[in-house]
Amino acid sequence: MKHLNRRTFLKSSALLGAGSFALPRFVIGQSGLPASQRVNLAFVGCGGIARNSIGDPDLRIVALCDVDSSEIVGTKEKFPHLAGVREFSDFRVMLDRMGRDIDIVVVSTPDHTHFPVTMEAMQRGKHILTQKPLTHDIWQARTLARAAEKYKVQTVMGNQGHTSAGIRQMREWYESGLVGQVKSVNAWFPGGIGSRKTKGYPPPPQAVPASLDWDLWLGPAAETPYNQDYAPFNWRQFVQFGNGRLGDWFCHICDGPVWILDLYEPTVIEAVKIDRVEEGVFPGGSIVEWTFPKRGEKVACKLRWYDGKNVPAKPADYSLVDTATPKNGKGAGAGIFGSFWEGGPDSFFLDNRSSNPRLCNREKMIEMKSSKAFPPEKYPRVPGGGPLAELVRAVSGEGPEPGSNFACAARLSEVGSLGVLAQRFGGRIEWDSRAMRITNRPELNAWLKEPVRPGWAYGEDLWKA
C-alpha cells in the first residue's frame, strides 16, 4: 500500500482526529503476538524520562545507548529484565551493528542532540520517537518535516497530551461553536529553570567523569569544557544545549491551542518581559507574546507565555478550585496551570498536558456536565499507552499514523522555538514564515540554523532542488 502523503494528511480531517484513515501495514516479527512483542526497540538516552518506557517489561528492547555508561548501569539495576540487552555509547555504532534488528529508535537525549540522532535513524529507515522539544532550532524542525516525507517512516514526538481524549474533546467544543472565537490564549508554567552548583558563565572546567564520553555528549555543539552543571541534569537552562523552560513545556501546554486554533504562522513574536538576564543562560522568568493574523474563519489571536514568577490574570468569570494560589490572590494558581482561552461569551481552561478541558466558571461547568450538553464525539480517541504505544501500533499495522507525527510536531516546535529566540535576544521579532526569515532584525537570522562541528551535519541534502 502506498504511504500516506503528508501534504494530503495535513489537509484531511483524519489528522485532526488522529483517527480512522488507512495506513500501510508493517509486518514485523511473528504474527499472532501483541504489537509490543513484534517490534524491536532501541533507546538512545537511558536516564530520566526514558526510564518511564524502558521499564515496561512488555516492550521488546534490544539495545540501550547512552554516552554515560553509568546511566545504562543504573537502568539495568532498576529493571533486571534488561540484563541481557546490548549496550552502546555511540548511536551510530549501535545502528551499524544492530540496524537489521531495530525497528524503532526512541530518542531521549538533551535537546541539542535530538536532531542528529533522529536524522541518522530515519536515514536508515528506522521509525522514531523523539522527546520534546523536537529540535534545538527552527531549521532543524523544518528539516525533520522534510525528512519524514522523504524516508516514509512512522514518527512521533513525545508530547503525551496529544494522545489524550481531552485535546480531542476541546477541538470538538471549539468546532461546535461552544468556545466561540478565541482572541487570546494565556499559557503558563509556574516556575523557572532550576539552580546550578557553580556561579557565572561559562562555569569553570572540571574533570570529566570516567563514565562519560564528553565529546559524544557535546555532539554537534562547539567544544566546551565539562562542568557538572551541564551534565547530567542541568543542561536545559543553557542556550547552547537546551531550550529553557519554554522549550521544555511549550509542546505540552500549548499543543492544544496551536493545534486546535491553527496557531502555526505568527507574524510577530515579542519578549514582553525578561527576568534575570545572564549570558548563555535562559532567563529566570519571562512573558512572551505571539501575534497571529486571521486564519480563514478564525479571528486574529494573541498567544502569551508566562514562566518564572510571572502568571496571567485569571479570566473575569474564573471560579475553578485551585490547589495553590499566589499570596496576592490575583494570578493563576501554581497548583493548576495550563492555558486560558478567552474571546467568546465564556472562557475555557486546558491543563498542562493540553487535556481535561473545562469552562473557567465552575458553576457553568457543573451545569454543562449535569445536562450532558457536550458536543458529539467527532474525533476517534487514541487507546492508552501514550506516544510510544501509539507508534508501536502504527509500526505493527494495528493503528493509524501517530497524531503528533513530525508533519504536525515540527510546526508546533517551530512556534515554540520562535519564542525561545525572543527569550534569548529580547525585543520584537517580525517573522515571515513562508520565507523562514526575520524581517526587522536580519542579524538574528543566523540563529535560525545553528553552526555544528565537523562530522555532525545532517539534512543539508533535503534542501537541494
- Per-residue pLDDT tens digits for 402-416: 999 999 999 999 999
pLDDT of residue 372: 81
Query: Where residue 33 falls among pLDDT bands split at 50, 70, 90?
Result: low
Q: Is residue 354 pLDDT above 70, yes or no?
A: yes
Find out whether the peptide bond into 266 is cis, omega within 30 degrees of 0.
no
Q: Is residue 459 pLDDT above 60, yes or no?
A: yes
pLDDT of residue 335: 58
Residues in Cβ contact with 465 at an 8 Å cutoff, skipping those fewer than 6 apart:
none
> With the CA atoms of 277, 279, 281 and 287 taken in that order, what torsion angle do they form, in degrees rounded to the nearest 10?
30
pLDDT of residue 196: 84
Query: Where residue 177 falls among pLDDT bands split at 50, 70, 90?
Result: very high
pLDDT of residue 164: 97
d(CA 104, CA 153): 10
pLDDT winner (highest mean) among 119-133, 325-339, 371-385: 119-133
pLDDT of residue 191: 84
The sign of the torsion formed by the CA atoms of 332, 334, 335, 337 equals positive
d(CA 273, CA 271): 6
* pLDDT tens profile 218-229: 999 999 999 999
pLDDT of residue 171: 98
Contact 423, 249 (CB under 8 A): no
Contact 306, 423 (CB under 8 A): no
pLDDT of residue 36: 57
What average pLDDT does the chain have? Answer: 90
Residues in Cβ contact with 282 at an 8 Å cutoff, skipping those fewer than 6 apart:
193, 237, 238, 239, 242, 243, 244, 245, 246, 420, 423, 424
Among 122-136, 204-218, 272-286, the range scoring the smallest mean pLDDT is 272-286
Alpha-carbon 371 to chain mean position: 36
Contact 306, 287 (CB under 8 A): yes
pLDDT of residue 22: 27
Q: Is residue 81 pLDDT above 90, yes or no?
A: yes
Query: Where residue 346 falls among pLDDT bands split at 50, 70, 90?
Result: very high
55-63 long-range contacts, CB within 8 A, separation 24+: 55/79, 57/81, 58/34, 59/392, 60/29, 60/36, 61/85, 62/86, 62/98, 62/101, 62/102, 63/87, 63/88, 63/94, 63/98, 63/101, 63/102
In eight-state DSSP terms, residue 312 is P
What are the structural domains of the chain?
A: 6-162+384-405 (3.40.50.720)
Query: What Cα–Cα distance (Å) separates residue 369 from each residue in 14, 113, 177, 352?
Result: 28, 45, 17, 22
pLDDT of residue 102: 98
Q: Is residue 24 pLDDT above 80, yes or no?
A: no
| Mean pLDDT, residues 224-236 taken together | 95
pLDDT of residue 194: 79
| Mean pLDDT, residues 346-363 taken together | 96
pLDDT of residue 158: 97
Q: Is residue 348 pLDDT above 90, yes or no?
A: yes
| Mean pLDDT, residues 290-296 taken together | 98
| Mean pLDDT, residues 111-132 taken together | 98
d(CA 23, CA 49): 29
In eight-state DSSP terms, residue 229 is T
